[in-house]
Structure 1
Amino acid sequence: MPLEANSDPRQPVRVVDPAAGVEPVEQAGRLRAEGAAAVLVQAAAGGSDDPTLHWLDSSHARGWVRSAAPTNADTLERAWEAQRGQGHVAADALLLAFGALPLLSWGEAPPEPLRPPTAEGAPLGIYAIVDSALRVRQVLEAGVRTVQLRLKRPADADARWQAVLAAAVRESVAAARDHGARLFINDHWRLAAELGATAVHLGQEDLLALGETGRAELRACGLALGISSHAVWELCRARALAPAYVACGPVWPTTTKDMPWRPQGLDNLAWWARVAGTPVVAIGGILDAAQVREAARAGADGVCVLRGLGDDPMRVVPALQKAFERGRSERAAASAPALPHPTLEPQP
């Protein structure tokens, strides 16, 4: 969903009960058209008696919210306004107002209740993001055991480019298998599944574009899924798919991508790690061992490095891995804030 300007802070937010004979989606849409910045139709699961399922309509996110417990409308509305007063956009303010972080659906199918987390496995560690099969082999030979092949489709992609992509995926899958490493293919999940990959990474706009049918197909193919997240509503939505990890970014300012998000900083990263209920990967502006250590110390299960790998990963990676392990050993000393700071600039 494209980002829109933040709603005018003078516009009210509304928590309402379901109207008899009116679908929650329609009810919320009417109230938004009348000037509400955002609307939550409380306990409105299409006529069911589920007190934990609500419909949200806002500029930045809309969908079913599944809360951890039933809510009081007045208390929720006051907490929602209080979070808006801290500078959060309406969607993030509402989700934070629930206290225990809820789930958010990707469409008009309610999210399933969150499954208990599986036993913690080996950390993702240094997570190299590279753009060729040759580079995949370089970082694997340097000791990296989590790598992402990111090859963005150009506007003029043709059959020749598709053949190059397939060859790169095939070679990268073989290299990861040879080294006992985890390989995530960025974006091209159908090709990844066809060529024997076991994991993919997708951004939120790509997942939204798949629709309910495409997301169901993705889940059915058994690929482990990493998901980008930059805001509370994106984190809540990512959690609904029970991902292998959620990426939190950008932790530091980055020039790799042009994006509207404020840097998360170590404080938001620590909060993400505390509440996500799944491994959290730090990404964005991470160039050296000192940053790797701080990200691991804040709770990151993996730390993404792109430009920081340098021309010779064999020389750079050992120091990055040492920094990650040191930061991970210091996690008990790190603290997470009660709530995150806003990640979009407020509008006047």
Structure 2
Amino acid sequence: MTQTLPLTGRDLFWPPADELTEAAERIRAVLGDWPPTHAPWRICLTAPDEPNGGDLIVIADAQQHGEQVARWLVQGAGVIVAAQGTAVLHLGGEKYRLEGQLAEDWIPALAAFLDCGFDPHDALVLALAWRDGDEIRGDDAFPHDIAHFPRVAGLPDAPAQAFARCPDRLGLYPVLPTAEWVERVVGFGVKTVQLRRKSAEPADELKREIARCVAAGRAHDAQVFINDHWQAALEAGAYGVHLGQEDVHTADLHALAAGGVRLGLSTHGFYEILTALHFRPSYIALGAVFPTTTKVMPTAPQGLKRLARYVRLLDGVVPMVAIGGIDLQVLPDVLATGVGCAAVVRAVTEAADPAGAVSALQHAFTQ
């Protein structure tokens, strides 16, 4: 058992429950060493008189507690509605709906994963992936079999056909701001790039930029993904499109899949990975691995330990791309997790010698 993260003596459950605490500590001991959580969540099996922002209140029937649930949420607490085969987390104005197996020890497992620092929606995913007795089946019982994981409910229908495949290991993946940059970098021999234009611009100009990128990809036998602008990318015959989680509700995924366009989806944890897998994309991007200044991130940096867990979970399921704060200095550590692709931004676009930077980055993939 790890000696640095004992659970006994903490305010883990309300009302206090020694048996649940002992089970949580037993599970926690085989999950590996993680930085201490900065959010001391408390799982409430009955509602406290004054719930607060650190409470997760577990109930079996939302309708029975309708007015109370609304009040608890206003007070800042989270609510988990758990019934046979389903668990719905209400937290921060969001609903996280999961369908899967509720093991007898799912509540102490939830406490253990919260203690590992996972946000409640990801900890709930892992708790539903837990199987009773996993803690005695090996030194490392962290869930890694995708077949045991729950599924996200209430998502739009996925396309009838899965998205076209891309290589299992995409290698170096520069994310670039303009068509000029795309032309330069594929000219250096890079085989996978992405155009990410975030500034507002006339539609005709955007279409010209995308057309240039598509032409450059074809000329250099490179795979060019277009970020966000899926309609223009589809019209231009782009190799692929990269979208965020929110885009799956608005983009015509059926048209993209039917058109043979590859799809990459951004994710920031286990719940979003399950959401992405529902749509059977060509790859899943996971980040930010390290702090990054290129965009505002919805979650804290993932770090290498979590990246290694995601790689193990998705091995043989779907190609994975690590992204966020990656440069030549940290790239060997990133690749040591087993991930087959690393996206970079400033490591190329802010390099004094972009060609030399690309060469050095590519060389790291051959070590």
Same fold (TM over 0.5): yes
1:103 aligns with 2:151: yes
Residue equivalent to 2:70: 33
The CA distance in 2 between the partners of 1:220 and 1:126, in whole Å, is: 27
- Once the two structures are superposed, residues 102-152 of structure 1 have per-residue CA deviations (whole angstroms, 9 ceiling, x without a partner) of 3324x455889xx9x999945110001111111111111111100001111
TM-score, scaled to structure 2 = 0.70
Deviation at 1:173, TM superposition (A): 0.6
Question: Which ranges of structure 1 fall in alignment gaps of 5 or more residues?
Answer: 44-50, 327-348
Q: Pick closer, same or farther for the CA change 1:27–1:126 going to 2, 3 Å.
A: farther
**Of 43, 65, 75, which aligns to 2:98?**
65
Deviation at 1:269, TM superposition (A): 1.1
Residue equivalent to 2:227: 186
**Of 286, 306, 313, which aligns to 1:248?**
286
The CA distance in 2 between the partners of 1:193 and 1:118, in whole Å, is: 14
Residue equivalent to 1:198: 239
**Matched position secondary structure for 1:272:** helix
The CA distance in 2 between the partners of 1:182 and 1:28, in whole Å, is: 52
Report matched runs for 1:280-299 at 5 Å.
Answer: 280-288=320-328, 290-299=329-338
Q: Which amino acid aligns with 2:55?
A: Q
Q: Which has the higher contact order (CA 8 A, sep 6+)?
A: 1
Q: Which moved more, 1:214-223 or 1:168-177?
A: 214-223
Q: Which amino acid aligns with 1:166?
A: K
Q: Pick closer, same or farther for the CA change 1:308–1:119 going to 2, 3 Å.
A: closer
Residue equivalent to 1:225: 263
Q: Pick closer, same or farther for the CA change 1:151–1:6 going to 2, 3 Å.
A: farther
Q: Which amino acid aligns with 1:139?
A: V
Q: Which moved more, 1:183-192 or 1:268-277?
A: 268-277
**Matched position secondary structure for 2:273:** helix
Q: Pick closer, same or farther for the CA change 1:172–1:179 going to 2, 3 Å.
A: same
Q: Which moved more, 1:185-194 or 1:29-38?
A: 29-38
Higher Cα Rg, which structure: 2
Contact 1:244 1:279 in 2 (8 A): yes
**Matched position secondary structure for 1:147:** strand
Q: Pick closer, same or farther for the CA change 1:109–1:281 going to 2, 3 Å.
A: closer
TM-score, scaled to structure 1 = 0.73
**Of 296, 314, 317, which aligns to 1:258?**
296
The CA distance in 2 between the partners of 1:183 and 1:176, in whole Å, is: 6
The CA distance in 2 between the partners of 1:299 and 1:250, in whole Å, is: 17
Q: Which amino acid aligns with 1:138?
A: R
The CA distance in 2 between the partners of 1:320 and 1:189, in whole Å, is: 29
**Of 309, 313, 318, which aligns to 1:271?**
309
The CA distance in 2 between the partners of 1:265 and 1:181, in whole Å, is: 30
Question: Which ranges of structure 2 fall in alignment gaps of 5 or more residues?
Answer: 1-38, 42-51, 130-147
Residue equivalent to 2:196: 150
**Matched position secondary structure for 1:98:** helix
The CA distance in 2 between the partners of 1:261 and 1:75, in whole Å, is: 28
Deviation at 1:13, TM superposition (A): 3.5
The CA distance in 2 between the partners of 1:40 and 1:220, in whole Å, is: 38
1:11 aligns with 2:55: yes
- Once the two structures are superposed, residues 266-319 of structure 1 have per-residue CA deviations (whole angstroms, 9 ceiling, x without a partner) of 11111111113322211111122x322221111222111111112543222121
Contact 1:38 1:59 in 2 (8 A): no
Q: Pick closer, same or farther for the CA change 1:279–1:262 going to 2, 3 Å.
A: same
Q: Which moved more, 1:220-229 or 1:177-186?
A: 220-229
The CA distance in 2 between the partners of 1:306 and 1:66, in whole Å, is: 37
Contact 2:164 2:257 in 1 (8 A): no
Deviation at 1:10, TM superposition (A): 4.3
**Of 135, 139, 143, which aligns to 2:185?**
139
Q: Pick closer, same or farther for the CA change 1:137–1:111 going to 2, 3 Å.
A: closer
Q: Which amino acid aligns with 1:133?
A: A
Contact 1:293 1:325 in 2 (8 A): no
Q: Which amino acid aligns with 2:311?
A: A
Q: Which amino acid aligns with 2:322?
A: A
The CA RMSD measured in Å over matched residues stands at: 3.3
**Of 106, 109, 112, which aligns to 1:79?**
109
Deviation at 1:95, TM superposition (A): 0.5
Q: Pick closer, same or farther for the CA change 1:55–1:274 going to 2, 3 Å.
A: same
- Once the two structures are superposed, residues 183-241 of structure 1 have per-residue CA deviations (whole angstroms, 9 ceiling, x without a partner) of 11000001101111121001113334x18xx4444444432111111222222211211
**Matched position secondary structure for 2:198:** coil
Residue equivalent to 2:119: 89
